[in-house]
Amino acid sequence: MIISVASGKGGTGKTTVAVSFALAARYCQFIDYDVEAPNADIFLKPDIKNIKKVSIKQPYFLTDTGNDFSKCAEFCHYNAIAVIGSEVIFYPELCHGCGGCLLVGPEGAVREKDVVVGEVAKGFTTPGIDFLKGNLIPGSMRTTTLQNELEKMLNKSGLVIIDAPPGNSCSMVMSVKNSDYCILVTEPTPYGFNDLLISMEVLEGLKVPYGVIINRDGVGDSAIEDYCTERNIRVHLKIPNDIEIAKIYSQGGTLLDYDSSYGEKFGIILKVIERISIGEADNHN
Amino acid sequence: MKGKTVKICITSTGTSLDSNVDPRFGRCPYFIIYDTDTDTFEAINNASRQAMGGAGIQAGQLIASKNVSAVITGNFGPNAFRVLQTAGIKTYSRVSGTVKDAIEKYRNSQLTETSAPDVTSHYGVGRSN
């Protein structure tokens, strides 16, 4: 079973919640899909043993052959190639590595080379958490390339917890699309509410069932809860707005360090999700 | 390219000479291609303004194909700037006011050439007047 933890608004507590699930489950695979800013390792403290470089294909142009490369520029949907007379300007940061310029360009005059965009790291945390994360090279746009690499390493035979990147764009879709269930973490503020609605729309489009966890309960208003009650959307948990949680977090501690009963609370949520996904429970309050 | 080109390009908010100079190169609504010899012009719709990325690169190639000798705008991004430099097109930035005024200033040599990009990539994304 794959459970992803996502949030439209950043900083609502995705990693806090995802880590709590992993610690409650004790035996699972944990994947940090936020390859632009992975941070779950700070809390799970895995023993990283295996690092694999990830590269993409990037074209280069043999301009001294005297060929006309204008077809490459015309074809490139991402405008990564400019052709001015006999000169070719290539913008690697815009290239998606599709290889189209090789197909439409002068035969043999467009070549490809491997360019490293990041790495995938594998580790282990006791008692039984297989940890995975991606590290994108700063400045690289190839977020989903790295996520594809993580996807290949998904171990669907057991429980998988995915910590998604913030937002609702491609990288979030990549993180949640294979899930059996998605937990949307939010905070009870207008900003949190607005971005939660966008996340819900994305998940409905992907047909991924979801529930909500409200973090920093006590700030803002009750608009999210009211909305969820009205629409029969399950609110699994409310985490209080307590400065102690922030203090422990800032030292690399977890919600279970704050209050060990959270281990049990997240264990119960896991059981509920399992029952929902096998159809024994309805996915609403 | 044949002969000495007398055409210049001005980024514009509209299709007439009374329109304002648009501050963005890659994502301006229109390019006014003005012939300084015959005093005629055409307004080209900038299809690149909707590009997800690389608007300046695409627009730069379009303008290069129009055989102009100079481009007048508010700001150039680094990618577009490189395309125009490679094409040997003179670049004038930090220009505002109407297109007509900009052409007058150009004629009277009141504009100074830009030697470097004015703004970073994606400056023109989501901006409007």
Task: Assign A283 a pLDDT band (cuts: 50, 70, 90).
Answer: low
Q: What residues of A are in contact with residue B48 (Cβ under 8 Å)?
A: 79
Domain ranges of chain A: 2-53+122-277, 63-108
**For residue B124, what are its two tokens?**
């023109």
Sequence-separated (6 or more) residues with CB below 8 Å from residue A261: none
At residue B127, the pLDDT reads 65
CA dihedral A181, A187, A192, A193 (to 10 degrees): 70
Which of B54, B86, B87 is nearest residue A91 as measured by Cβ atoms?
B54
Q: Do A78 and B86 touch (CB under 8 A)?
A: no
Residues B13 and B95 sit within 8 Å (Cβ to Cβ): no
Q: Per-residue pLDDT tens for A195-235?
A: 999 999 999 999 999 999 999 999 999 999 999 999 999 99
- Taking an 8 Å Cβ-Cβ cutoff, which residues of chain A contact chain B? 73, 78-80, 82-85, 87, 89, 91, 94
Rounded average pLDDT over A142-148: 94
Interface with A, mutate which of B61, B63, B83 (most A CBs under 10 A): B61
Q: How far is residue A120 CA from its own chain's centroid?
A: 14
Enumerate domains of chain B plus CATH numbers.
Answer: 7-107 (3.30.420.130)
Please check the confidence at residue A34 and state whether its pLDDT lies above 70. Answer: yes
Q: Does B85 touch chain A (CB under 8 A)?
A: no
Gap from A142 CA to chain B (nearest CA, Å): 14
CB contact under 8 A, A84 and B52: no
Q: What integer is the mean pLDDT of A51-64?
A: 95
**pLDDT tens for each residue of A99-118:** 999 999 999 999 999 999 99
Contacts of B54 in chain A (CB under 8 A): 78-80, 91, 94
Closest in A84, A89, A94 to B53, CB measured: A94
Percent of chain A past pLDDT 90, that is, above it, reads 92
What is the pLDDT confidence band of residue A80, given thresholds at 50, 70 and 90? very high
State how far residue A80 is from chain B, nearest Cα, in angstroms.
7
What pLDDT does residue B128 have?
55
Location of structure tokens 């990288």:
A171
CB contacts, 8 Å: A73 with chain B: 61
∠A27-A33-A34 over CA atoms, to 5°? Answer: 130
Give the model's confidence band at B121: pLDDT under 50 very low, under 70 low, under 90 confident, else very high.
confident
d(C-alpha A274, C-alpha A25), whole Å: 12
User: Nearest residue of A to residue B48 by CA position?
Assistant: A79
Question: Any idea what the Cα angle at residue A29 is, between residues A23 and A33, rounded to 5°?
Answer: 100
pLDDT tens sequence across B69-99: 999 999 999 999 999 999 999 999 999 999 9
Backbone torsion region of residue B40, taken as left when φ is above 0, otherwise alpha when ψ lies between -120 and 50, otherwise beta: beta
Give residue B53's pLDDT band: very low, low, confident or very high (50, 70, 90).
Answer: confident
**Residues paired with residue A115 on neighbouring β-strands, in sequence order:** A56
Task: Name residue A88's beta-bridge partners.
Answer: A83
If DSSP states are collapsed to H, E and C, what string results for chain A?
Answer: CEEEEECCCCCCCHHHHHHHHHHHHCEEEEEECCCCCCCHHHHHCCEEEEEEEEEEEEEEECHHHCCCCHHHHHHCCCCCEEEECCEEEECHHHCCCCCHHHHHCCCCCEEEEEEEEEEEEEEEECCEEEEEEEEECCCCCCHHHHHHHHHHCCCCCCCEEEECCCCCCHHHHHHHCCCCEEEEEECCCHHHHHHHHHHHHHHHHHCCCEEEEEEEECECCCHHHHHHHHHCCCEEEEEECCHHHHHHHHCCCCHHHHCCHHHHHHHHHHHHHHHHHCCCCCCCC
Say if B58 is an interface residue toward chain A (CB within 8 Å): yes
Give the span between the Cα atoms of A105 and A61, in whole angstroms: 9
Q: Is the pLDDT of residue B64 over 70?
A: yes
Helices A261-277, A14-25: axis angle to 10 degrees equals 90
Rounded to a whole number of angstroms, the distance from the CA of A91 to the nearest CA of chain B is 8
| Residue A282 pLDDT exceeds 80 | no
Nearest Cα to A168, choosing from A1, A3, A9? A9
User: Do residue A89 and residue B58 have CB atoms under 8 angstroms apart?
Assistant: no
Contact criterion met (CB < 8 Å) for B83 and A94: no
Alpha-carbon distance of A265 to B55, in angstroms, equals 50
Query: What is the separation of C-alpha A207 from the centre of its chain, rounded to a whole number of angstroms?
Result: 17
- pLDDT for position B1: 43
Q: In this predicted structure, what is the pLDDT of residue A26?
A: 97
Does the structure show a pLDDT above 60 at B68? yes
CB contact set of A81 (below 8 Å; sequence gap of 6+): A59, A69, A72, A73, A88, A89, A90, A91, A101
Stretch A153-178: mean pLDDT: 96
Q: Decide: A197 and A212 in contact? Cβ < 8 Å.
A: no
CATH of region A2-53+122-277: 3.40.50.300
Can you give the pLDDT at residue B129?
47
Q: What integer pLDDT is reported at residue A78 of this predicted model?
A: 92
Tell me: the pLDDT tens digits for B1-25?
Answer: 444 568 999 999 999 999 999 999 9
Tokens of B123: 């400056």
Nearest neighbour of A84 by CB, restricted to B52, B58, B83? B83
Question: Is A84 in contact with B54 (Cβ distance < 8 A)?
Answer: no
Please name the CATH architecture into which domain A63-108 falls.
2-Layer Sandwich (3.30)
What average pLDDT score do residues A65-80 get?
A: 94
